[in-house]
Amino acid sequence: MRFAAAVLAFGLFWLLPGASSARASTVFAFEGELDWREGSLGLALRGEGLPLLVLEARGLGSSRLSLDGDIRHMKAGGYDLAGRLALDLILDKDTGTESRLTGRLSGYDMMVNSFPVRDLRAVFVVRGKQLDLEEFSCGVLSAKGTIDLAENSTEGFFVELLPVELEHVCRIAGLGSGLPLAGVTGTVAANLQVSGALRVPRIQGRLSAANGSFGALFYDSIGLQFVGTYPQLELLESLVVPAGRAGVRISGRLDFSDWHNLGAQAARLRRSPVVSEERDRRGWVLQRMQTEDNSVTELKYLLLKDDRGDASAFLGIQKSIGF
């Protein structure tokens, strides 16, 4: 029975994210007990003598399988994962020619890269070669969509990030080695649409950040629109409003696989001032200050044209009072 458990565990390891890159250099040991009569399995996956995953399964050989896992700092897909997982799988063969597998996943006390995240919940259905993720939520992150398991691709997968501290996102994503997180503050939110092959997905979406800093940049707001094949993304007419200054439109390409040089990449982006235009005038905001009573004071440069086409330039201060 231990041999059968080892075979099953080896198959599980082969499917783990990031396992393909680790097979040549990482050795794991397995041990466990399999009881076919009771339909149960107890399994422990070890690395360097320490338990990485403790798995208990019930309902083997039946149409309903329950799995309970205790993850202890397992490396997968470049992430350090820890926490408790519970998975219920129900197989329904009475839906025509194709079977239907329904899964419900719950996660508790989860940590990603040693940073705590909120409880995890997911509901998915597998029909033939198609996986429908009907629900996924983990704190402020949610997702849904369809994946073609045969092609390992998707025609539409949607991800939403509700407003959250930017530093938390960077830590969970494992960016601490490439970014000075002590200088990363503010709140961030995002909406993404993913399509194409999952190994090189095409991503388009929007990201907004407010009231924070990114290294030496202190900002009132950042609004990014982007599209591209990850990790190469193109910024499209995005807007950055530095704290107390006029907004700047930015565009260009960023390589998100090179976090160590992200600051240098940002410095090379194309920049242009935000200009307000009407039929007979153009205006530039040179300096901007907002107070706690919501009033805004701006230093403006205006270029006006009269009916004969002659231009006049003005430098002035405009104050708007909020109610």
Per-residue model confidence as pLDDT tens digits over 207-256: 999 988 877 778 888 989 999 998 899 998 788 888 877 778 899 999 98
Q: Which domains does the chain have, with CATH numbers?
A: 1-115 (no CATH), 275-323 (2.20.25)
Q: 213 has which bridge partners?
A: 218
> Are 213 and 186 in contact, with CB atoms under 8 Å apart?
yes
Whole-number average pLDDT of the chain? 79
Gap between the Cα atoms of 150 and 259, Å rounded: 32
3-state secondary structure of 314: strand
Gap between the Cα atoms of 20 and 162, Å rounded: 33
Burial of 234 (0-12, 13-18, 19+ CB in 10 A): middle
- Residue 1 is predicted with a pLDDT of 38
- Residue 316 is predicted with a pLDDT of 75
Single out the residue of 116, 123, 167, 120 nearest to residue 145, CA to CA.
Answer: 123
Per-residue model confidence as pLDDT tens digits over 161-186: 999 888 888 777 655 444 555 567 89
- Residue 264 is predicted with a pLDDT of 82
CB atoms within 10 A of CB 297: 15
Q: Give the count of alpha carbons within 13 A of 100, CB side only.
A: 8
- Residue 14 is predicted with a pLDDT of 36
- Residue 288 is predicted with a pLDDT of 63
> Are 104 and 88 in contact, with CB atoms under 8 Å apart?
yes
- Residue 10 is predicted with a pLDDT of 38
Per-residue model confidence as pLDDT tens digits over 79-137: 788 999 999 999 987 655 678 999 999 999 988 878 888 889 999 999 988 999 999 99
Gap between the Cα atoms of 283 and 211, Å rounded: 25
Is residue 11's pLDDT more than 50? no
Decide: pTM greater than 0.75: no
Q: Could you tell me the CA-to-CA distances from 33 to 11, 36, 42, 102, 293 in Å, in that order? A: 16, 10, 5, 26, 68
Single out the residue of 236, 241, 235 nearest to residue 289, CA to CA.
Answer: 241
Counting residues of the chain whose pLDDT is more than 90, the rounded percentage is 29
Gap between the Cα atoms of 251 and 224, Å rounded: 9
- Residue 237 is predicted with a pLDDT of 77
- Residue 226 is predicted with a pLDDT of 93
| Residue 59 one-letter amino acid | G
